[in-house]
Structure 1
Amino acid sequence: MPQRYALVFPGGLEGGEDNVEVTITDRTGPGGHPVYEDATGIILAEISEQSEVRVLATGPGQEPARGVTARPLTS
């Protein structure tokens, strides 16, 4: 498993996309895959071996994003 990913959120500014870098943690998500976290701790995502993304809620009332993709980062 890569140690870092770029999460790509559709529908950013002017119809583009927003990218957020996440790093692996020692936690696993509800699907049993590693959980990744951004530097602020606000974005948590479970990412499978096939780069399938499940964004996890980090606060009450938060709606997890849909349509997020993951690109492995090598450096």
Structure 2
Amino acid sequence: MLPKIRKDAGSLLRKYREERGISQVALAKKMNLHNSQHLWNIENEKNPLTIDRIELASEALGITPDIFLSKKVK
């Protein structure tokens, strides 16, 4: 079963990026995005944050990827 990505993953990405003082341009490069506009679209929930991008973002920001995933509810 694939993990479910939180609906607010993009805004969480922006929060952690800003807390660390990393620019959109710098993070976009670390996430292998074509440009910072793509990152802006992710942060503003226009484009989804994919599992592959979560791994790259987590590594660049020094956080666990679990932050972007929904908790399983029983």
- TM-score (norm. length: structure 2): 0.27
Instruction: Pick the structure with more helix per residue.
Output: 2
Instruction: Pick the structure with more strand per residue.
Output: 1
Structure number with greater CO (CA < 8 Å, separation at least 6) is 2
